[in-house]
Chains A and B, each alone.
Chain A
């Protein structure tokens, strides 16, 4: 499903060169719930950007659905993001003054999906994250933090991506609503979605079934929890 081989990423050139990722290799199968954990500066955000096709690695290969996308140009990466990747951000990044429904539908307006199909997929995604139906046509800025994050998860889900990338999804939430968001991700995992959770919080990370720990741009450990 996902395979990275000898992934390498550096910023700058010459004496200012800084390697952020060194020789990262792992494989994530379809339906896995993996957390990538590491302190700030460990390179986990850079890894997420590469896994999310927002950034290209300086070296190595990245196979997504058996296609090496590590050297694709910007236009093609946008196409990959559109169809295969769903992002959940720490700060939700919902469009303000826009309805919940339209926020969730946003990835679909950039695709060629028919209007009825879009509406149907949007409804399914909203139902999957368990957002009450009477909230669907509220403006996004009228929601609570927990609801906002569930809308964001629904948006990540709507294009039925190969992988859902959640970057510190609980970072802006209190313990209780954070728990709700993680619970939602776990529920999606049970439904068969592949989820990669990026966090610095070991407690949150331990909710996944596999933990990849990163330090100084290298994999420190990669262990599976016995279920």
Chain B
């Protein structure tokens, strides 16, 4: 039997009962469409999380204070302790190899006032190295410099969101004086928007010189975080272990387990976040594939009905010389065409749905070629699996009985 005949016979068979074919195909369309959409939501989330982690900076190692020990029976919690100082940061910059920049930071939330506007935001005291470590870019003005740190100048660099809150959308802020915790600071720059919020909004921040922060606002020499930028990704692990060793010796701690600080590597965070979003994607896809399975059962149901309805036709085909193989191929190709067509429409449906979700619900989605290919092969596979049994049943019919069937 020629391929063209097989195709034509299958199309005639499918169009003989259009409504039933369309409804059955709808099951596959919805199944494939939801798998595509769900994978796109998962991939979108993964992309968003990864890019928001990477927007913090690249090759980043973060040193945070650990538990404060031996002072009180009550733990203040990881990160809340005051164990890191400016001197630790200076030692890291001087002694650890493979690093580009070290930026100690002190951060705390304060009420910030400009004229009648006020907001509560994160104020970060840091050095000029911060711009390099965090890949900061300026929208206007300049970042904190060595001189402003040296002179403990009362200057501030603000994020675009903070600028919008205090000065109105796109308002001019440079040269104005804002009050942080009732102390006046002159705005010298506005950072460029980084977008990609995620864990914290990097656009809603105020940066001031570290020395000013410590002298005027926090009143001590502790830092809440030391951000280190390694020169290359492959050197991150080494830099990380050198930092750990250095800080252990500076803090007179012999055992790593009782360290009063923690050193986190950015790629570890990305890997952990990716693992979470991959699981999330798998979960979404497996829920969606249940509907695909139901669609496949719909195909089988329809094919069984078709075979019993067309028993006489099968008898006739056998009487004119069709072999069992010809009969099974015909019914198998009907179910494969149905699922393949359903697969194509399902992919289109899924892409449209993903588009609607990202545009109207604001959830990031990302359609990948691999998910489309997966959907196609799954739908063809479903056509084969669920069409196989009915087509075998058709092929096995006895021609004499089939011709007599009413």
Contacts from A to B (Cβ < 8 Å): 49, 52, 54-55, 74-75, 78-79, 81-83, 87, 89, 93, 95-98, 102, 106-107, 109-111, 155, 159
Contact = CB atoms under 8 A, between A and B. Distances in A.
8 contacts: A54-B318, A78-B318, A87-B320, A89-B316, A95-B313, A97-B12, A106-B316, A159-B320
B321 A83 contact: yes
Contacts of A87: 319-320
A110 B1 contact: yes
Contacts of B324: 74-75
B242 interface: no
B319 A106 contact: no
Interface residues of B, number: 23
A166 to B, nearest CB: 13
Give the most central of B9, B15, B313, B320: most A CB within 10 Å.
Answer: B320
Contact of B321 (A89, A93, A102, A111): A111
Contacts of B321: 78-79, 81-83, 107, 110-111, 159
Contacts of A78: 318, 321-323
A81 B320 contact: yes
Contacts of A74: 324
B304 to A, nearest CB: 20
A89 B320 contact: no
Interface in B267-321: 312-313, 315-321
Given A49-B400, A93-B312, A106 B317 contact: yes
A166 B316 CA distance: 14
Nearest to A86: B320
Contacts of B317: 106, 110
A15 to B, nearest CB: 24
B2 A109 contact: yes
Contacts of A83: 321
B196 interface: no
A49 B400 CA distance: 7
Given A97-B12, A98-B12, A110 B319 contact: no
B165 interface: no
Nearest to B318: A78
Given A109-B5, A110-B326, A55 B319 contact: no
Give the most central of B2, B316, B324, B400: most A CB within 10 Å.
Answer: B316
B320 A106 contact: yes
Contacts of A111: 321
B246 interface: no
Closest 10 CB pairs of A and B: A82-B321, A107-B320, A109-B5, A93-B316, A81-B321, A78-B323, A110-B321, A97-B16, A110-B322, A87-B319
Contacts of B318: 54, 78, 81
Contacts of A97: 12, 15-16
